[in-house]
Amino acid sequence: MHSHLTRIPVVGRAIIALLFVVAFAGVVSFDAHPAAGATTQGDLIVSEAASQANVPYCDLGGGINGPTYGGVNEAGCGPSNRGFDCMSLSQFAVYQVTGIVLPSDGSQLSGVGQFIPPQATIAEDTAGLLPGDVVFWGGTINSFAHSGIYAGNGEVWDALQINVPVQTHTMSFLSTIYSYDGAIRYWKASAPLTPGGLAAPIVGLAATPDGGGYWLANAAGAVSAHGSAVNYGSMAGQPLQAPIAHIVSTPDGKGYWLVAADGGIFTFGDAGFYGSTGGQRLNAPVVGMAPTSDGKGYWLVASDGGVFSFGDAVFRGSMGGQHLNKPVVGIAPDFQTGGYWEVASDGGIFSFDAPFYGSTGNVVLNKPVNGMTPTTDDQGYLFVASDGGAFAYGDAQFEGSMGGSALNAPVVGLAVDSATGGYWMVASDGGIFSFNAPFYGAD
């Protein structure tokens, strides 16, 4: 957003809008921690803004994933530079911690965040703020001129204007340039601290088809995108009848589905809605989802092994109504046959018009299996246990595991890197473990 050093009289004051979006060879373990001294998500938001200190100001530059060249040649910014403008710095800092994306156009989504209205004096304004609040200046509800991240002690991290890099300015100084429109608190003091993004627990991981990135999703429906993955939206902040159970990429990687434990389906990007079990009475919760090869249908699986087919997905059978030694925890498609596999928590594999390559159903495991993925040619599959142990069958290659290592949180998902044949694991705290697959970031 363009920022100009002109005084603008105070006009309408209200909640500024935002949108939810909602995203190494060998073994790499990522064990991130909150910024030193951070006690709230607000502190982490400040840390994210501070991490961009001295980055250039670039009109139309920057966004949720960091600084970019905005296409405007000006003092301090050109094609060889990457920077932020006044809105994109706030977008970046807030998104990195909460998964919330503030729009550049000022569009409004009512009922999101806590509005902190302006008071009679800047001293009174400052008294009502906490570090991590986003402060807005010099505009109406849909046309403000400036924003920044309140850092505490009357200081604001911002990208003020052309040829002035990211730095702090005082509330008092900014009030000599703009009228103050109030602040929004997009974070909650009770939210768990997960470094880099989503509040715990993370429940799923989905890779882009080319292996260039991946998405993570949490139980509340927030999504974070990493590498080349694009964040197409999320359910963050929206009421859910049941927690999100999994995230699944469309075959072309231009969208994804979120599936809830009640079988509710939420579509983003080019993902189509073909039906759901949301609102129906189920015998057991939905635990997984698999798309068809053309992305025009999908299967859902419940923990009792029941399968529900939608769109062009053909029902090939299920374990519903049959005796199981352990509950089913996932489903994976076989694009070659149009069938699918179910996996149980003991590693038992149930094949429906799909080849059986092996299982751990008769092996005593240290921890339960909780995720499964096919290889890119569907000639094998891998599954992962909560202690990070990996099991490879068919043409799946074992590239390493976290089995036997101390983990801060259990592993909850697995995805294959189609480019290398390696894979990623994700833990419920957002930690990513890479095995012959590039590390693109974690939550």
Model pLDDT, residue 177: 94
- Residue 347 and residue 4: Cα distance in Å, rounded? 61
Q: Give the residue among 311, 402, 317, 303 at the shortest CA–CA distance from 346.
A: 303
Structure confidence at residue 350 (pLDDT): 97
d(CA 22, CA 185): 19
**Could you report the per-residue pLDDT of 71-125, keeping only the tens digit for each?**
888 888 888 888 999 888 998 888 777 767 676 665 544 556 788 999 999 999 9
pLDDT value for 101: 65
Q: Are 243 and 263 in contact (CB under 8 A)?
A: no
Rounded to whole angstroms, the Cα distance separating 294 from 313 reads: 10
For every residue of 79-147, DSSP letters joined together read TT--BB-HHHHHHHHHHHHH-EE--SS----TT-SEEE---SSHHHHHHT--TTPEEEESSBTTB-SEE
d(CA 134, CA 13): 14
Identical fold at 36-185 and 202-435? Answer: no
- What's the one-letter identity of residue 40? T
Query: At residue 27, what are phi and psi to the nearest 5 degrees?
Result: -100, 130
What torsion do the CA atoms of 119, 122, 127, 132 make, to the nearest 10 degrees?
A: 100
Do 130 and 150 form a contact (C-beta atoms < 8 A)?
Answer: yes
The pair of structure tokens assigned to 47 is 């840390």
Helix or strand or coil: residue 43?
Answer: helix
Residues of the chain with pLDDT under 70: 1-39, 65, 99, 101, 103-112, 141-142, 189-200
Q: Can you give the C-alpha Rg of the chain in angstroms? A: 23
- d(C-alpha 142, C-alpha 145), whole Å: 10
172 CB-near residues (< 8 Å, 6+ apart): 122, 154
Give the whole-angstrom CA distance, residue 261 versus residue 282: 10
Distance CA 84, CA 59 (A): 7
Residue type at position 30:
F
The answer to whether the beta carbons of residues 381 and 393 sit under 8 Å apart is yes
* Phi and psi at residue 95, to the nearest 5°: -65, -40
Q: Give residue 124's Cα distance to chain centre.
A: 36
Structure confidence at residue 269 (pLDDT): 94
Q: What is the pLDDT of residue 86?
A: 85
**pLDDT confidence of residue 134:** 93
Q: Which residues of 221-242 are buried (b: 16+ CB within 10 A; e: fewer)?
A: bbbbbbbebbbbbbbbbeebeb
Model pTM score: 0.59
- CA-wise closest residue to 276 among 263, 289, 291, 292: 263
Listed by start position, the domains of the chain span 36-185, 202-435
Task: Give me the numbers of helices (H) and strands (E) for the chain, helices first please.
Answer: 4, 27
Strand order in the sheet with 202-207: 202-207, 213-218, 223-227
Find out whether 419 and 427 touch, Cβ atoms under 8 Å: no
Cα–Cα dist 120/123, whole Å: 9
* Burial class (CB within 10 angstroms; exposed 0-12, middle 13-18, buried 19+) of 203: buried
CATH of 202-435, one of 3.30.70.3270, 1.25.60.10, 2.130.10.10, 2.30.22.10: 2.130.10.10
Helices 41-50 and 86-98: crossing angle in degrees, nearest 10, is: 140
Residues 305, 328: contact at Cβ < 8 Å?
yes
CATH of domain 36-185: 3.90.1720.10
Distances (CA, A) of 201 to 30, 186, 204, 216, 243: 17, 19, 9, 11, 10
Q: What is the largest CA-CA distance in the chain?
A: 74
Output the CA angle 113-115-121, nearest 5 degrees: 150
At 347, list the tokens. Answer: 């590693």
pLDDT value at residue 408: 82
